[in-house]
Chain A
Amino acid sequence: MADTVQFELVAPEKLIFSDDVELVVVPGSEGDFGVLPGHANLISTVRPGIIEIHENGQAKERYFVAGGYAEVTAERCTVLSTEAMPVDAIDRGAAEKRLEAAELDLRDADDDAARSRFEDAVGVARAMVETAGA
């Protein structure tokens, strides 16, 4: 068996990352999970957070994802996210502004559908600010 998994991080606009990696850690909605070659088949939702790509036992690259889905098989791991970017590319100021705007929206939300949507937006923005601060 190959000693790498083929990892792909895909956003609606483009393929962000696609390469063979040794280990990738995905923030699943029910807890982070690491994917090594030969992982059991799994489809999971992903919460807003950081995907870590490891090489030689160290985190090599870190990507922020705004939630989405992960599909894992023995050979590959695919993460679909509505928004994804390298952690270094996050602008802390912009992220804080976005959090503020989202919180304002949430306060003004008048029905359940809108409220749950804005709650998601606040969650994403908050995770973004935390990531930028770390």
Chain B
Amino acid sequence: MATLKSLRLRINSVKQTQKITSAMKLVAASKLKRAQNAAEAARPYAERMERMLGSLAGAMGGRDDGPRMLSGSGADQTHLIVVCTADRGLCGGFNSSIVKGARAKVAELRSAGKTVKIYTVGRKGREQLLREFSDLMIEHKQDIGRRGPEFFEAAGIGEELTALFADEQFDVCSIIYNRFESVMSQIVTYQQLIPFAVDADDAATEPEAGEGAYDFEPDETEILEDILPRNLGVQVFRALLENAASEQGARMSAMDSASRNAGDMIDNLTLEYNRSRQAQITKELIEIVSGAEAL
């Protein structure tokens, strides 16, 4: 049986751990609030952008002389996957679920005979993917948004993707990230960025609005060529914001259950400690009594 001293030490160390996890939980909760606000504030821009793109794409009406970012490069051979994870761990299954999703996607594309390239954003995703796919990783970004992602960072990634696409490094580009559903649940989301997929619903509601056709200034092709790369930045920005909120949410619930587990453990250890203390007292009493009787 463990000695009283070692039990006392263990109880203390678990208490310290609990203090840390509950502090982390509080920090994550306040960061989550901020990340959620940021994600919400950024929503109008993305929505308006989508509406505008819907009208533009509608005006192009499936003509294939449009920009390649809309119609695609004509091939479907090389896929680029942008894997967005966090820079830091201790957030439950957050990073591993994205990595798992990415792995499944790579396997699926490979079995279909495609070439896959990986662009990682966030330190954790890179570390986990490096072992398996080090030959596929072409680019890496980290330290994005210590205080929440900034738009210029996302726009920078968007520009890089645009340059890579112009350089014919890939035909199809998608991004994988965790969509924030609630504190308890984050959903791994896979979204195609290039060629830009016009939401069928958006396109459908356009004529129904009865607003007639748009005039374009300059013409629609020129606007599209300008707006599509920018839209890429917006989509990346949205993914990063969702990811940031999800990370904090995941960390909060992970730290909450860690604190609870530590509490259970402290209870059990305290029970054991008291039992052994009582057992020892009883033993000492018996020794004294039997010693007195022997005299």
Given contacts A43-B220, A45-B218, A45-B226, could you give 9 more A-B pairs where the C-beta distance is less than 8 Å? Answer: A12-B234, A43-B52, A43-B215, A43-B217, A44-B216, A45-B223, A71-B52, A71-B55, A82-B155
State whether B151 touches A13 (Cβ < 8 A).
yes
Chain A residues within 8 Å of B113, by CB: none
Q: A12-B237, A71-B55, A80-B49 are in contact. Are A30 and B218 (CB under 8 A)?
A: yes
State whether B159 touches A117 (Cβ < 8 A).
yes
Chain B residues within 8 Å of A29, by CB: 217-218
CB of B52 to closest CB in A, whole Å: 5
State whether A12 touches B52 (Cβ < 8 A).
no
Chain A residues within 8 Å of B214, by CB: 41-43, 71
* B1 close to chain A: CB less than 8 A: no
State whether A80 touches B45 (Cβ < 8 A).
yes
CA gap between A30 and B4 in the complex, in Å? 83
Chain B interface size band reads 20 to 34
State whether A78 touches B230 (Cβ < 8 A).
no
* A40 close to chain B: CB less than 8 A: yes
Residues of A within 8 A of B (CB): 8, 10-15, 28-30, 40-45, 69, 71, 73-74, 78, 80, 82, 113, 117
Which residue of chain B is the closest to A73 with respect to CB atoms?
Answer: B211
State whether B45 touches A43 (Cβ < 8 A).
no
* 28 cross-chain CB contacts under 8 A: A8-B44, A8-B48, A10-B48, A11-B45, A12-B42, A12-B45, A12-B233, A12-B234, A13-B38, A14-B41, A14-B44, A15-B41, A15-B44, A28-B217, A41-B212, A41-B214, A42-B216, A43-B56, A43-B216, A44-B216, A45-B217, A45-B218, A45-B222, A69-B227, A71-B51, A78-B52, A80-B45, A80-B49
State whether B41 touches A80 (Cβ < 8 A).
no
Chain B residues within 8 Å of A30, by CB: 217-218
Chain A residues within 8 Å of B154, by CB: 12
State whether B38 touches A71 (Cβ < 8 A).
no
Chain A residues within 8 Å of B163, by CB: 113
Which residue of chain B is the closest to A31 with respect to CB atoms?
Answer: B217
**Top 8 A-B pairs, shortest CB-CB distance:** A14-B41, A44-B217, A12-B151, A41-B214, A15-B44, A42-B215, A10-B45, A12-B45
